[in-house]
């Protein structure tokens, strides 16, 4: 058996991306410009939204989404603790209080019931995460948020290519934020996108990401006469560059193929893991198709080896796995925040993310599962 190292993930970048980036550089237009506009249009269309607003990363996208909604001091924002910490931090950026809700053990996602359990009259927004690309119940959560009069922000950082009820997860979302970090299925190095169907929000979001300017730099440069811009409110520099967008356009063309491949590999993991007692793979609900940005397994008490020992033994075998999704409420940054989150704590302590990327082979999967089998 081969002893070659197996990375947990690998961005899929080729000569086409290198060419596209080089063309942007040669064009002389390297900051936000025509390629960003083209990428916004193409991405929004692909995920089923009317508007795409490119930003520097998903974290800044979440921040601006909360600004657009009008979340501020005194407001509560319900978030899963089980998420990358940026989800909770976004609430703090606007001076609001993040309130942690538990997740469903099988899917890793918030549910109507777990949100309702922590909802108060101060709840202004919810940031629900499509966890590791596994879609939450869009129908149930969107309807509940409307009923409660609360804004639902969708943290779709991991969910490009995922579907719920046969539609891309961006379709029908009030507002969603996406990531193009190399850890995600498609990447622009760093980068993010906000999508929404609200044209007025889109105008304001474009302004907020560009210092609050009422005329974009691209519009100013394209004008034949001098244009005097005004700064309408305190904005930010959260722009994406044209070099990144050039790469993003190529990556977007790869998305369907990458997702199809990930689904095949995930289905194969499901099969291989069936015989191992005490191992439960992530459940993708019947209404959804995941892009499997993360494929995780949860160890039950029947499994003989402690999760952290499994990680070490895999590492010794040249296999790079990762601990399960983090839980923000267990980090020093959130020390002192009250939270009763049994499923979140079980998942973060007893789950593990298996390698999944475009160069992963069936032989690699056999090797990985082979090691797990010896530890059961
Ligand atoms: C990766 C990730 C983010 C942050 O994305 P960046 O583009 O790195 O800012 C936010 N939320 C979730 C759920 C993520 O997985």
State pLDDT tens for residues 110-144: 999 999 999 999 999 999 999 999 999 999 999 99
pLDDT at residue 235 in the model:
97
Q: Which of 88, 132, 158, 239 to mutate to test the pocket of ligand 1 (most atoms within 8 A of CB)?
A: 158
pLDDT at residue 331 in the model:
98
Question: Who's near 55: CB < 8 A, 6+ residues apart?
Answer: 61, 64, 191, 192, 193, 194, 209, 238, 239, 240
| 128 neighbors 101 (Cβ within 8 angstroms) | no
- Using alpha carbons only, how large is the chain's radius of gyration in Å? 21
274 included as an active-site residue: no
Residue 327 Cα to ligand 1 midpoint, Å, equals 14
Q: What is the pLDDT of residues 20-67, one digit of tens each?
A: 999 999 999 999 999 999 999 999 999 999 999 999 999 999 999 999
- Give first-to-last CA distance, the chain, whole Å: 21
Residue 325 Cα to ligand 1 midpoint, Å, equals 12
**Which CATH fold would you assign to the domain 255-375?**
3.90.1150
Question: Who's near 339: CB < 8 A, 6+ residues apart?
Answer: 81, 100, 329
Alpha carbons within 13 A on the beta-carbon side of 336: 2
Please indicate whether residue 251, judged by its CB atom, sits closer than 6 Å to ligand 1: no
Sheet of 295-299: strand order equals: 279-281, 295-299, 351-354, 322-323
Q: What is the pLDDT of residues 294-306, one digit of tens each?
A: 999 999 999 999 9
pLDDT at residue 142 in the model:
98
Please indicate whether residue 244, judged by its CB atom, sits closer than 6 Å to ligand 1: no
Confidence of residue 2 (pLDDT cuts 50, 70, 90): low
Q: What is the pLDDT of residues 188-241, one digit of tens each?
A: 999 999 999 999 999 999 999 999 999 887 788 888 888 888 999 999 999 999
pLDDT at residue 1 in the model:
52
Please indicate whether residue 58, judged by its CB atom, sits closer than 6 Å to ligand 1: yes
State the catalytic residue, choosing from 5, 41, 184, 274: 184
* Average pLDDT score over the chain: 96
* Separation of alpha carbons 345 and 103, rounded Å: 10
Please indicate whether residue 86, judged by its CB atom, sits closer than 6 Å to ligand 1: yes
For residue 333, the 8-state DSSP code is G
Q: Which 3 state secondary structure label does DSSP give 13?
A: coil
Domain residue ranges in the chain: 15-253, 255-375
* Separation of alpha carbons 173 and 168, rounded Å: 10
Q: What CATH number does domain 15-253 carry, 3.20.20.70, 3.40.630.30, 3.40.640.10, 1.10.3720.10?
A: 3.40.640.10
The answer, yes or no, to whether residue 186 has pLDDT greater than 60, is yes
Q: Which of 8, 11, 55, 59 to mutate to test the pocket of ligand 1 (most atoms within 8 A of CB)?
A: 59
The token pair at 303 is 């499994």
User: In which region does residue 364 sit, left (phi positive, over 0), alpha (psi from -120 to 50) or beta (all else)?
Assistant: alpha
List, in sequence order, every beta strand (DSSP E) within 159-210: 163-164, 167-168, 175-179, 192-196
Please indicate whether residue 192, judged by its CB atom, sits closer than 6 Å to ligand 1: yes
Residue 75 Cα to ligand 1 midpoint, Å, equals 23
The answer, yes or no, to whether residue 91 has pLDDT greater than 60, is yes
């Amino acid at each position: 058996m081969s002893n070659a190292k197996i990375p947990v993930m690998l961005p899929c970048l080729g000569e086409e991306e290198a060419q596209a980036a080089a063309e942007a550089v040669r064009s002389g237009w390297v900051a936000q410009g025509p390629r960003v506009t083209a990428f916004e249009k193409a991405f929004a269309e692909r995920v089923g939204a009317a508007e795409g607003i490119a930003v520097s990363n998903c974290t800044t996208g979440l921040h601006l989404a909360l600004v657009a909604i009008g979340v501020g001091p005194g407001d509560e924002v319900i978030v899963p603790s089980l998420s990358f910490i940026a989800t909770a931090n976004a609430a703090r950026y606007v001076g609001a209080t993040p309130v942690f809700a538990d997740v469903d053990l099988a899917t890793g996602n918030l549910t109507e019931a777990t949100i309702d359990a922590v909802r108060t009259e101060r709840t202004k927004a919810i940031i629900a995460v499509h966890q590791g690309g596994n879609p939450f119940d869009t129908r149930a959560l969107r309807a509940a948020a409307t009923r409660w009069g609360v804004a639902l922000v969708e943290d779709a950082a991991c969910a490009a290519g995922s579907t719920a009820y046969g539609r891309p997860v961006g379709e029908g979302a009030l507002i969603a934020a996406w990531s193009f970090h190399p850890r995600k299925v498609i990447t622009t190095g760093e980068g993010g996108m906000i999508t929404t169907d609200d044209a007025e929000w889109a105008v304001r979001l474009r302004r907020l990401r560009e210092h609050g300017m009422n005329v974009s730099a691209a519009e100013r440069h394209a004008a034949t006469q001098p244009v005097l811009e005004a700064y309408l409110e305190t904005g930010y520099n959260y722009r994406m560059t044209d070099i990144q967008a050039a790469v993003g356009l190529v990556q977007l063309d790869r998305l369907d193929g990458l997702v199809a491949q990930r689904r095949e590999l995930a289905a194969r993991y499901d099969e291989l893991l069936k015989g191992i007692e005490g191992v439960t793979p992530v459940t993708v609900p019947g209404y959804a198709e995941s892009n499997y940005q993360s494929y995780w397994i949860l160890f039950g008490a029947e499994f003989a080896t402690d999760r952290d020992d499994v990680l070490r033994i895999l590492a010794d075998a040249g296999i790079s796995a990762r601990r399960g999704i983090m839980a923000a409420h267990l980090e020093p940054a959130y020390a002192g925040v009250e939270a009763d989150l049994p499923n979140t704590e079980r998942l973060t302590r007893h789950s593990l993310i298996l390698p999944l990327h475009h160069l992963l082979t069936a032989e690699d999967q056999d090797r990985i599962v082979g090691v797990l089998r010896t530890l059961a």
